[in-house]
Amino acid sequence: MCISEPVIPVMIVDGQPVYVPGYETWTELSQTRWFQGKRIFGEDYADLVAEHLSLVRRYPEFSLGFRELPAFGNDWVILMLLKTHAGPQRVAIEWVTCEVCGWYGVIANPMSWDVYVGAADIPAGLERASKLPVVTCPKCKSDLPRHAVWAEPRMNADKI
């Protein structure tokens, strides 16, 4: 049986090739979960991937990609990218609560070491990320408990 695979654009991020499918292609890949003979994600990651894709659908500044990491054997590893003036930025998606007002929502953290695994120069990536403007709580403007360069707008967070 021969199944034609989608053509997926590749971006070089921090010296590492990252496959970045569009949202429609991701919908397709979420069913098959395989690309070029390697698994994109397993059953245990299905909910996490769905949450990331929900953000990609609602916020055009995000794209979800995946990259190859030899240490992870026969699997691809997903990677969230945030568009910035300096180009695509690797970010970890985290859920945080504001300790001042109780706002609970999604943030993008570019200082998580995990997202740089596979980058050609990890310290340089972290250094560049540390210079991005930090955002505060969307509701009360207090500092958030985690390093955030993006936080879900309050209007949308309140709908959840």
**Contact positions vs Zn ion (CB under 5 A):** 98, 100-101, 103, 137, 139-140, 142
Name the residue nearer to Zn ion (CB basis): 86 or 101: 101
**Which residues, 6+ apart, have CB-to-CB distance to 138 below 8 Å?**
103, 105, 151, 152, 153, 154, 157
Q: What are the backbone dihedrals phi and psi of residue 20, each rounded to the nearest 5 degrees, phi first? A: -125, 90
Name the residue nearer to Zn ion (CB basis): 78 or 107: 107
Name the residue nearer to Zn ion (CB basis): 137 or 148: 137
Name the residue nearer to Zn ion (CB basis): 76 or 103: 103
Task: State which amino acid sits at residue 3.
Answer: I
Decide if 31 contacts 76 (C-beta within 8 A).
no
Count other Cβ atoms within 10 Å, centred on residue 124: 13
Q: How far is the CB of 110 from Zn ion (least distance, A)?
A: 21
Cα separation, 35 vs 8, whole angstroms: 10
Q: Can you tell me whether residue 31 is helix, strand or coil?
A: helix
